[in-house]
């Protein structure tokens, strides 16, 4: 990651980029935020790049539109049909997360905000072994409620040890059977 703009120091405040419908803001402030979001990351263009297979997809969008990783991933998650969740970890705790509409429709994330990272998460390996990235399958129950021990999700981690900051991408398509849903 040689592009300094993609370093966490250039990160937006989550309150500036998260979907504003959840925040206590005036109507004018919400409209201004939506306008700025559309100006920086037009939905019609982001929908063309909305498949989130890995952090590489997110980094490409962030670089292309010259925005932070957080801004890119939040907009991409709003526009994707993928079953994904993005988690921000900072200073030993989970700071915030956002999930795609399909993730929220079919799965329920555990109450994780403010919690320490699970030892079963790939982030624990990054911290212990001082590595920046890792991608592996982890038990689904560490992130998602009501999951069996033999169910797994794909977890990818970008870790910035100098900032005690990590981004975690959870891909859970394997837990959702869309074909079965069509016939119900």
89 within 8 A of 96, measured Cβ to Cβ = no
State pTM to two decimals. 0.81
Q: Please report the domains of the chain, with CATH numbers, ordered by start residue.
A: 1-80 (no CATH), 83-184 (3.30.450)
Q: What is the CA radius of gyration of the chain?
A: 16
- Residue 100's CB is within 10 A of a number of other CB atoms, namely 23
Find the helix or strand (DSSP H, E) in which 8 lies: none
Encode pLDDT of 130-141 as tens digits: 999 999 999 999
Encode pLDDT of 16-40 as tens digits: 445 444 445 677 877 787 787 778 8
Given this model, what pLDDT does residue 20 score? 42
Regarding predicted confidence, which is higher, 162 or 20? 162
Instruction: Work out the pLDDT band at 42, boundaries 50, 70, 90.
Output: confident
Reply yes or no on whether the pLDDT at 4 is more than 60: no
Given this model, what pLDDT does residue 102 score? 93
The number of angstroms, rounded, from the C-alpha of 79 to the middle of its chain's C-alpha atoms is: 13
Given this model, what pLDDT does residue 24 score? 54
Average pLDDT for residues 104-128, to the nearest whole number? 94
- The CA-based dihedral angle spanning residues 160, 154, 87, 98, taken in that order and rounded to the nearest 10 degrees: 150
**Burial, 144: exposed, middle or buried (Cβ in 10 Å; 0-12, 13-18, 19+)?**
buried
Regarding predicted confidence, which is higher, 90 or 24? 90
């Amino acid at each position: 990651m040689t592009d300094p703009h993609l370093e966490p120091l250039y990160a937006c405040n989550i309150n500036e980029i998260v979907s504003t419908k959840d925040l206590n803001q005036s109507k004018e402030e919400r409209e201004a935020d939506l306008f700025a979001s559309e100006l920086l990351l037009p939905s019609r263009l982001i929908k063309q790049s909305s498949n989130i297979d890995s952090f590489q997809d997110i980094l490409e969008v962030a670089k292309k539109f010259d925005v932070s990783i957080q801004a890119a991933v939040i907009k991409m998650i709003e526009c994707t049909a993928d079953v994904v969740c993005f988690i921000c970890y900072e200073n030993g705790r989970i700071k915030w997360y956002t999930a795609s509409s399909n993730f929220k429709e079919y799965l329920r994330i555990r109450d994780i905000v403010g919690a320490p990272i699970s030892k079963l998460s790939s982030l624990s390996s990054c911290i212990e072994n001082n590595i920046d990235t890792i991608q592996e399958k982890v038990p689904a129950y560490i992130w998602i409620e009501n999951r069996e021990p033999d169910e797994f999700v794909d977890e990818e981690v970008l870790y910035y040890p100098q900032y005690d900051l990590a981004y975690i991408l959870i891909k859970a398509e394997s837990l959702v059977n869309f074909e079965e849903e069509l016939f119900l």
